[in-house]
Structure 1
Amino acid sequence: MSLGYLALVLHAHLPFVRHPESDYVLEEEWLFEAITETYIPLLTLFEGLKRDGVDFKMTMSLTPPLVSMLRDPLLQERYDQHLAKLQELIEKEIEHNVHHGHLRYLGEFYATEFSKVRETWERYNGDLVAAFKQFLDSNNLEIITCGATHGYFPLMKMYPQAVWAQIQVACEHYEENFGQPPKGIWLPECAYYDGLERMIADAGLRYFLTDGHGILYARPRPRFGTYAPIFTETGVAVFGRDHESSQQVWSSEVGYPGAPEYREFYRDLGWDADYEFIKPYIMPNGQRKNTGIKYHKITGRGLGLSEKEYYDPHWAREKAAEHAGNFMFNRERQVEHLYQIMQRPPIIVSPYDAELFGHWWYEGPWFIDYLFRKTWFDQNTYEMTHLADYLRKHPTQQVCRPAQSSWGFRGFHEYWLNETNAWIYPHLHKAAERMITLSCREAEDELEWRALNQAARELLLAQSSDWAFIMRTGTMVPYAVRRTRSHLQRFNKLWEDINQDKIDAGWLEKVEAIDNIFPNVNYRVYRPLMG
């Protein structure tokens, strides 16, 4: 019998980026890269585990913006074209490097990988949501939801209706796509404030996740720290992130992804190749960009990109297997130690951004595959579980009040509220006030009904925490600013048009076609909450 549990939790999220009004927008490639490098590799490893009799268990969020994009016919078509260009480019590279043994070997490796991606993509007819759902139905994968557009809840709490709309719209969207209500929610940025659990309970959700200090600073102090969930007074369970296992994967200093054998993310063929050769595969305006074809490995700390040596996937895969074994060994020792202290089975909750595995850390899916297999065949100290299964087996826990918290830099709210992004919040708050007012109206006709629902969509899209995050990181800032402003401007025009009874039907139709997320949203979700 095992002494404890390991719960691997992946947060799969990208902001809603879809531009039917343009032939090419670079930011749409965030999705395309994640499909090629993260989502399809995860599906492939799930299929392999099932085929080989490994009854794996994992929790994974698929956020509403990501689900919406994965199911969007326009983006599916554009991804198909993106993958075709990638395959064309790598075939030219193989031909180009016919006399360069190692580069030809790498080209053939990528050609094989892209062919596998193509095969999976076509086997599911481009519907990766249905592909993930089969593992939800088999109870291998516990799929949870998130805020409707990843809004940062603690900075919205002065308008409870706005927080409620983020939660309720997400739950309805989940049920539309997965045929059942969600059991759990990944709070956007794991950001929690006191009292949020009441709304989570009212939405029918059973549990959520916080960073470790959300539980460690709870009142009363939890007896088992982050190694058991706590129950709030509403009955909703809270799982906390384990710092030790997270650091082993995340840390840029001691984490696995920094190993010399692994692929170097920042050196890409799009920048290395001869300009005339690569021109058909970069941006239409002639600007270079990453292609996803990378020939170099990390090699060592402190080296410039020009000093990187050639990558070898064989040795990288060996290193991923070694790291998976090391991770398993460390969890065994951790569980044994905790079990002796606690005198009950601990649960180690290890949450990560899904896109770390494959996109940022190319070998990450191999690591997960080896970890599941080694755990299944090579040890019996712990068992892997997903969070819903754990709660079914352990329905009694200590009751506490979690502490306000978020994950990431310093663990509270300053990454999303600082000198780079503070300007957005007065506008978002004003729009929330106006939306609450609009929600009390009764639509006089179908046009007004559509306008009110579109206003709700525009506010939800403007509230995405991704835009504030990007402003703080300093990458792609003009795009994040443009997106925030455009959604607020569209919202404010709708507000004025509705109040003046002068709705521009042609303009509304165009905006509905561009910002088409949540086709079944009901603006009344913003009505003042009772009680």
Structure 2
Amino acid sequence: MQKILSLVIKASQDFIRHTDEDIKDNAPILNNFFEAVSNVYIPLLRMLENLEADKIKCRFAIVLPPVLCNMLSDPSLQDEYLNWLEKRNTFGKAELRRNKADEKICTIINDTIEKNKKLIADFTEKYNKQLIPVFAEYMTKGYLELMGTCGTDIFMPHYADLKEIISAQIESGLHAYRQYFGVMPEGFWLPAMGYTPGIEKLIRAYGYTYTILDSRSILFSEKVPEAGIFYPSRTDNSLVIFARNRVIDSELFGENGIIYSECYRNQNRDVGYELPMEKLSSLIDKDGIRYSTGFKYWNRCFKDSGCLYNKECAETQLEKDSDAFVEKRFQTLSKAAELLPSYNFVSEICTLDISKLSKTWNECIAWLEKVIRKACDKGLDVLSCDKMCDEQYNLEKIEPYFSAGAGAGYGENLLSSKNCWMMRYIRKSCERMIDLAGRFPMDTGLKTRLLNLGAKELMLAQSLNLAKMINRSEFPQFAEKRFKESIGAFTAVFDSLGSNTVSTEWLTKLEARDSIFPWMNYRIFTKKR
């Protein structure tokens, strides 16, 4: 029997304004984005190159949200990224002078500088500043499956009674993937894995073949499928349902999770949080918010003042942890195969929030590559879910239960006392957008520009990432400001259409600042019959 390990790599990104006047104000947030390019997206491409060079037969799924695709394709951000790397290396040279008496720290600094130089070389020479076409190339080669998702990270259960909003989000995401990749994805990624009954009809209506739900959605359904979470099932309209194994999250992030080994680099201890502000002046404005510089010298050992990071020690630990992870997958799938002898395959779905993982675990991409290699050596097939949908119309029918990948399984932490005030503004704006799309079905010219801008601003305000940032107190001022700007802009559009007056200067300026979704057509919010 075929034993399949299906890996799903989920990236996330919120839109960051980056016109000249915004670069300085949004420096801490842009720093996070550039770190993701350095620590996730380019390393993922290098990993694919290594797997291809060694002829490793594998295929895994990746979720690249439309907002991320937009920012990775933006020429101004590409140039700013190179400038950001150069600034880091200038700071690194100052760190070498400051730590010249400590040979071990100087070795770590030099490694960081060389890493940045390699990033500059790869980004400009190998990838020509364009990462999206390289991901598309590996899709063509069969190593990647692109999963579709919404235009922005919207938590669908919050809008279950507004199907026009959900449809607009699905449609805008679909259009984005056609623009960036020229394909229609087979799989649909539910943001935050938020599911409520009825959503499957909207997903299937746009031609998607399958989606992935939290395991409790399947196990708590009225009729639990015979194979549980180890074989796909389907909804009444034949949308194929896969269940991710929640146990993997606890293996990674639990109390004794893999990522917390003492040998791994301490991602939270960065000189950007420790040095006096005057020593950080080449990177951080003296009146600005502190943020990471990439120069981290310590591991996760918290004895006394900590211990210096050692690459060799981390590499040894990676071997152990990847071996243990793959062995657990093998044992789980072998047991499932014993219990389900009549099936032609069993599968385990492993979803990885790579944005979250990379912030807390420096070695995550290296670990991922080892997992893929070891799984193949162990006899497991590393395949994406689209390769398991051949029996789409013969699968067992179920009615999935409410679930989410956040909180205790229901997304209850996505509305808290800190961010619940946002929802009343979003809901009212949603109702207004649906009304506007119905009242101006055939307009052109300035009104169309206004309506398209309003549609974009609404979708940006719906982003779950903003609510998460406020709830976690992670740059909450930025998140609140961004949200209020988008709601304010949408309200201005609504008032302008009502009074039949508009400032073209204001409209043009905001179109330039919020340059995402240039193909936006407000009619996607038209009321559905």
Q: TM-score range by the shorter chain?
A: over 0.9
Distance 1:419 1:192 in 2: 23
Distance 2:268 2:308 in 1: 13
User: Is the counterpart of residue 431 in structure 1 residue 429 in structure 2?
Assistant: yes
Q: Could you say which residue in structure 1 is the equivalent of 2:201?
A: 198
Change (3 A) 1:346 1:96: same
Residue in structure 2 matching 1:211, options 210, 214, 221: 214
Residue in structure 2 matching 1:185, options 164, 188, 196: 188
CA contact (8 A) 1:18 1:75 kept: no
Residue in structure 1 matching 2:299, options 297, 300, 308: 297
Change (3 A) 1:286 1:250: closer
Change (3 A) 1:501 1:107: same
Q: Which amino acid aligns with 1:160?
A: K
CA contact (8 A) 1:261 1:298 kept: yes
Q: Secondary structure at the match of 1:418?
A: coil
Q: Which amino acid aligns with 2:248?
A: S
| CA apart distance, 1:395 | 6.4
Q: Could you say which residue in structure 2 is the equivalent of 1:84?
A: 86
The 5 A counterparts of 1:130-209 are 130-209=133-212
Q: Which amino acid aligns with 2:262?
A: P
Distance 1:278 1:426 in 2: 41
CA contact (8 A) 2:265 2:362 kept: yes
The 5 A counterparts of 1:128-527 are 128-251=131-254, 253-273=255-275, 275-283=277-285, 285=287, 287-300=289-302, 307-343=305-341, 344=343, 345-376=345-376, 378-380=377-379, 382-392=380-390, 396-440=394-438, 441-527=440-526
Cα RMSD after superposing both structures: 1.7
Q: 1:148-178 CA deviation, whole Å, 9 max, x = no partner?
A: 1111111012211011101111011111110
| CA apart distance, 1:286 | 5.2
CA contact (8 A) 2:8 2:62 kept: yes
| CA apart distance, 1:413 | 3.1
Change (3 A) 1:393 1:249: farther
Distance 2:139 2:389 in 1: 16
CA contact (8 A) 1:283 1:289 kept: no
Q: Secondary structure at the match of 1:171?
A: helix
Distance 1:358 1:422 in 2: 28
Change (3 A) 1:274 1:506: closer
CA contact (8 A) 1:38 1:357 kept: no
CA contact (8 A) 2:238 2:393 kept: no
| CA apart distance, 1:249 | 1.7
Q: Which amino acid aligns with 2:361?
A: W
Distance 2:289 2:382 in 1: 46
Q: Which amino acid aligns with 1:366?
A: A
Task: Give the TM-score taking structure 1 as reference length.
Answer: 0.95
| CA apart distance, 1:5 | 0.6
| CA apart distance, 1:516 | 1.3
| CA apart distance, 1:443 | 4.9
Q: Which amino acid aligns with 1:456?
A: A
Q: Which amino acid aligns with 1:379?
A: K
The 5 A counterparts of 1:1-80 are 3-20=2-19, 21-24=21-24, 25=26, 26-80=28-82
| CA apart distance, 1:112 | 2.5
Q: Which amino acid aligns with 2:182?
A: G
Q: Unmatched 5+ residue regions in structure 1?
A: none
Q: Which amino acid aligns with 2:424?
A: P
Q: Unmatched 5+ residue regions in structure 2?
A: none
Distance 2:285 2:434 in 1: 42
Distance 1:289 1:522 in 2: 37
Q: 1:13-65 CA deviation, whole Å, 9 max, x = no partner?
A: 11111231323112122211101111111111111111111122111100111
Distance 1:157 1:275 in 2: 48
Q: Secondary structure at the match of 1:369?
A: helix
Q: Which amino acid aligns with 1:201?
A: R
Q: Secondary structure at the match of 2:403?
A: coil
Q: 1:199-243 CA deviation, whole Å, 9 max, x = no partner?
A: 001111111111111111123112122111221111111111112
Distance 2:121 2:221 in 1: 48
Distance 2:494 2:117 in 1: 49
Distance 1:387 1:260 in 2: 35
Segment of structure 1 superposing worse, 39-48 or 441-450? 441-450
Change (3 A) 1:356 1:488: closer
Distance 1:288 1:473 in 2: 17
Task: Give the TM-score taking structure 2 as reference length.
Answer: 0.95
Q: Secondary structure at the match of 1:15?
A: coil
CA contact (8 A) 2:238 2:392 kept: no
Distance 1:248 1:395 in 2: 34
CA contact (8 A) 2:151 2:459 kept: yes
CA contact (8 A) 1:191 1:407 kept: yes
Change (3 A) 1:455 1:287: closer
Quick one: percent identity of the two aligned structures? 25
Q: Secondary structure at the match of 2:238?
A: coil
Q: 1:267-317 CA deviation, whole Å, 9 max, x = no partner?
A: 1021233543322122352553211211000015xx5xx621100112112
Q: Secondary structure at the match of 1:291?
A: coil
